[in-house]
Structures are given as structure tokens and as C-alpha cells.
């Protein structure tokens, strides 16, 4: 049996009971770079643990290699876990792994995790939805500006943007939002390492970021993983 398991946003106490119970039985665990390394406290001592993490500019394994490892161990071991940051199907390429396993006749079990898209803002007391400020939110990748610009086409006053993997395109994202009619005073928050002891929050306006020098953006990249939150709901922190 193969399990795709969400490890949550970082805090080890945000692992689900279901995830912990499967890790206790697993013979092999293929885990991501952003998974809290303390997960090993839940594992059998003799289990095989393989870091297959992918970070900007440093991929221990590419996706094809990860798929191949899953297929290999699925044929050799009784219980295999693919441990993914957040939850498997949100920016996790989880379904690519499902398809690779289905090709050999194995349909994995998916165990959802706590998604960082909402739990990280919550860890800084920023609500994704608050009736005083917003009615909706959109979650979008920030590493591909072409996709970003196709999806975010205009400003909606009562909608928040939750931008994943946008630290390396932070300057271009803000320039794009201003061109699309976002007010200069729109709050923007950079949420670093949310739910962990190292978490940091930087709150500015789009105009503030637009006027920053290159040193700011270099420092921002050092704080990854970062979630970028754009919207008036950040103002809820004032109350």
C-alpha cells in the first residue's frame, strides 16, 4: 500500500492523527524538504527515510526520479509513504505521483494535511475571509509570472490573494499588481516560516515594496519559504 500524506505547514503538532498512525507502520518514507524533520519520532526505527526535497535551485530528486522511487518501493515494500509539505494536492504535484502509481496497478491512499495556504496566515492572525474586509480569496503560484498574469487580471476590493512560491518574483509581482489597478495603499504581508518558532511577518503596502531597493528583495529570498498575502484583510490586525 502507498500513502500520499500531508505533513502540514511546519509545526510538528499540526500532523494529523491519521498521518502519525501511518508513519508508525511505514517501511519507506520519501519526504519533502519543507517537512519538519522531527517527523522521524513517529517512524519505526528500521524504516527507510529518503529526502527527495525540491527547493529553489537545489533539487535532490526531480519529479520523474521521485515517481520512479515510489514505483520501485511500491513493488518491494509493504507500506510506502510519500510525505509532502502541506497537503498532497495543493501545489504538491501529488496527482503526478498518483498517475505514476496507477500505471503499475496501484491506487494510493491520500491522507490530507493542514494546508499552509490558510494555516500560515492564521498563525499571524490574518484571516483569509473576514466579513468586514473580504468575501473571497484566491490561492495562486507566484513562480511563473505568465500564469500569474493570466489569472490575476484586475483588482477586486473584497478579495485577498494568497501567493505561494513568490519570493523570487516579489518585485515583479508588485509591479504587475500596480499595473492591474491595485491601489498603492493595498497592504501586502510576507509570511515567513509560518507556524514554526522561526516565523516572521513583514507588512508593507504595494507602494512601499515598489520603492524598495534590491537589498530588500535579496533579504526576502533568505526568509523562504514565504507566503505572500495581498489584501485589505491584513487591516484586521489593527483591531
Active site residue 164: no
- The sheet that has 200-205: what strands, in order across it? 136-141, 159-164, 226-230, 187-192, 200-205
CA angle, 227 then 59 then 26, to 5°: 85
Is residue 111 within 8 A of residue 5, CB to CB? The reply is yes
Active site residue 165: yes
Nearest to 191 by CA among 139, 141, 92, 117: 117
- Residue-wise pLDDT for 153-194, tens only, equals 999 999 999 999 999 999 999 999 999 999 999 999 999 999
Q: In the chain, what are the helix, strand and coil shares in percent, each to the nearest 5?
A: 35, 25, 40
- Residue-wise pLDDT for 65-78, tens only, equals 999 999 999 999 99
Percent of the chain with pLDDT over 70: 98
Active site residue 99: no
Where do we find the cell 505572500? 228
CA distance 99 to 77: 19
What is the pLDDT, as a whole number, of residue 58? 62
CA distance 235 to 117: 19
Mean pLDDT in residue range 85-108: 94
What is the pLDDT, as a whole number, of residue 3? 98
Is residue 114 within 8 A of residue 16, CB to CB? The reply is yes
What is the pLDDT, as a whole number, of residue 56? 64
- Exposed (0-12), middle (13-18) or buried (19+): which is 154, by Cβ within 10 Å? exposed
Active-site position among 130, 164, 165, 232: 165
Mean pLDDT in residue range 121-147: 95
Nearby residues of 58 by Cβ (< 8 Å), 6 or more positions away: none
- The grid cell for 65 is 526520479
Active-site position among 18, 44, 49, 54: 54
Q: Where are the strands (E) in the chain, listed by range?
A: 2-6, 28-31, 48-51, 54-55, 58-59, 80-84, 109-111, 136-141, 159-164, 187-192, 200-205, 226-230
Nearby residues of 126 by Cβ (< 8 Å), 6 or more positions away: 189, 191, 229, 233, 234, 236, 237
What is the pLDDT, as a whole number, of residue 59? 59
Mean pLDDT in residue range 103-116: 96
CA distance 213 to 228: 18
- Residue-wise pLDDT for 13-60, tens only, equals 999 999 999 999 999 999 999 999 999 999 999 999 999 987 665 657
Amino acid at each position: 500500500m502507498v500513502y500520499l500524506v500531508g505533513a502540514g505547514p511546519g509545526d510538528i503538532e499540526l500532523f494529523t492523527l491519521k498521518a502519525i498512525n501511518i508513519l508508525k507502520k511505514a517501511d519507506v518514507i520519501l519526504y519533502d524538504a519543507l517537512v519538519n524533520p522531527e517527523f522521524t519520532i513517529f517512524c519505526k526505527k528500521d524504516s527507510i527515510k529518503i529526502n527527495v526535497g525540491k527547493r529553489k535551485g537545489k533539487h535532490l530528486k526531480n519529479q520523474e526520479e521521485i515517481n520512479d522511487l515510489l514505483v520501485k518501493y511500491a513493488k518491494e515494500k509493504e507500506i510506502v509513504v510519500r510525505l509532502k509539505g502541506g497537503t498532497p494536492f495543493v501545489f504538491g504535484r501529488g496527482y503526478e505521483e498518483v498517475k505514476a502509481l496507477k500505471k503499475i496497478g496501484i491506487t494510493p491512499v491520500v491522507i490530507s494535511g493542514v494546508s499552509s495556504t490558510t494555516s500560515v496566515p492564521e498563525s499571524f492572525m490574518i484571516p483569509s475571509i473576514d466579513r468586514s474586509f473580504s468575501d473571497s480569496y484566491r490561492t495562486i503560484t507566484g513562480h511563473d509570472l505568465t500564469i500569474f498574469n493570466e489569472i490575476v487580471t484586475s483588482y477586486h476590493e473584497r478579495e485577498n490573494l494568497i501567493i505561494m512560491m513568490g519570493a523570487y518574483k516579489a518585485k515583479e509581482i508588485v509591479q504587475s499588481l500596480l499595473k492591474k489597478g491595485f491601489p498603492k495603499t493595498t497592504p501586502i504581508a510576507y509570511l515567513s516560516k509560518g507556524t514554526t518558532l522561526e516565523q516572521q511577518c513583514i507588512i508593507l503596502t504595494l507602494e512601499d515594496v515598489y520603492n524598495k531597493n534590491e537589498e530588500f528583495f535579496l533579504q526576502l529570498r533568505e526568509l523562504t519559504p514565504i507566503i505572500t498575502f495581498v489584501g485589505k484583510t491584513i487591516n484586521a490586525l489593527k483591531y
